[in-house]
Amino acid sequence: AQSVTQLGSHVSVSEGALVLLRCNYSSSVPPYLFWYVQYPNQGLQLLLKYTTGATLVKGINGFEAEFKKSETSFHLTKPSAHMSDAAEYFCAVRGADTDKLIFGTGTRLQVFP
Amino acid sequence: NAGVTQTPKFRVLKTGQSMTLLCAQDMNHEYMYWYRQDPGMGLRLIHYSVGEGTTAKGEVPDGYNVSRLKKQNFLLGLESAAPSQTSVYFCASSYIGSTYYNEQFFGPGTRLTVL
């Protein structure tokens, strides 16, 4: 069955530092992978997605993620954190039952000045 | 386009009361979903619909019912609310296309408290 694991429920970085949020997936079929962001008191917004083709995917707000099949990973990075990046981030994989997305438990990012 | 909207934004119920949450989308999406979000548990799928007049159970369907009488609307009902249903509820929708990745579009959420 498809699943995603997000390592670290909380990540704290200083403003200007590298952001690295980890996601590992398990999939019995070629995966479609997503990162969503949830700002306080809002719904989820798509940051980026991997479907096919280039393994380095660029998203909004300077975020990017690299699909590594050998490591079954899809980690999210941003070279320089901004205070406005403080939010909760969810990794998701489309299930073998393609009607559904399987979400990780989320990582809350804090950015300190 | 308003995207996905949810009504109401907040609600407080007493145990045993009933209510209906309304989700509406104006993107002509085929698929619609109801999730609940609880701390440390991510999003859990309650029910979903793959088209008008059809619904299916998700991961945590007990205590909830749904209806999809119109393509643009998806209703979530609680017949007899329990404190365990205190949560934030999100509706989402997605489209069917030649390249179907199931990218989902989310509403702003409904915060429900059951006392």
| Chain segment B63-76, per-residue pLDDT in tens | 999 999 999 999 99
Distance CA B86, CA B17 (A): 13
| CA–CA min distance B15, chain A (Å) | 25
Residues contacting B62, CB < 8 A, separation 6+: none
pLDDT at A73 over 90: yes
Predicted confidence (pLDDT) per residue in A7-63, tens digit? 999 999 999 999 999 999 987 777 889 999 999 989 999 999 998 888 899 999 999
Of A71, A76, A17, A19, residue with least CA distance to A50: A76
3-state secondary structure of B83: helix
Predicted pLDDT at B100: 64
3-state secondary structure of B84: helix
> pLDDT grade, residue B99 (50/70/90)?
low
Of B48, B65, B40, residue with least CA distance to A100: B48
Q: Which residue on chain B is closest to A105 by alpha carbon?
A: B42
For residue B109, the chain A residues in CB contact (below 8 A) are 41-43
**DSSP letter string, B7-53:** E-SEEEE-TT--EEEEEEESS--SEEEEEEE-TTS-EEEEEEEEETT
Q: Average pLDDT in the B34-57 region?
A: 93
Q: Average pLDDT in the A66-80 region?
A: 95
Instruction: Pick B101's closest partner by Cβ from A32, A100, A106.
Output: A32
Predicted pLDDT at A84: 96
Contact across the interface for A90 and B56, Cβ inside 8 Å? no
For residue B41, the chain A residues in CB contact (below 8 A) are 105
Q: Average pLDDT in the B82-103 region?
A: 86
pLDDT at B51 over 60: yes
- Computed over every residue of chain B, the mean pLDDT equals 93
Instruction: Pick A9's closest partner by Cβ from B40, B58, B101.
Output: B40
Contact across the interface for A100 and B48, Cβ inside 8 Å? yes
Predicted pLDDT at A96: 65
Q: Average pLDDT in the A77-82 region?
A: 97
Predicted pLDDT at A48: 94
Q: Could you tell me if B82 and B15 are in contact, meaning their C-beta atoms sit under 8 angstroms apart?
A: yes
For residue B99, the chain A residues in CB contact (below 8 A) are 51
Distance CA B7, CA B56 (A): 22
Compare A94 and A39 and report the one with higher pLDDT: A39
For β-strands A10-14 and A107-112, DSSP reports them as parallel
Predicted pLDDT at B98: 57
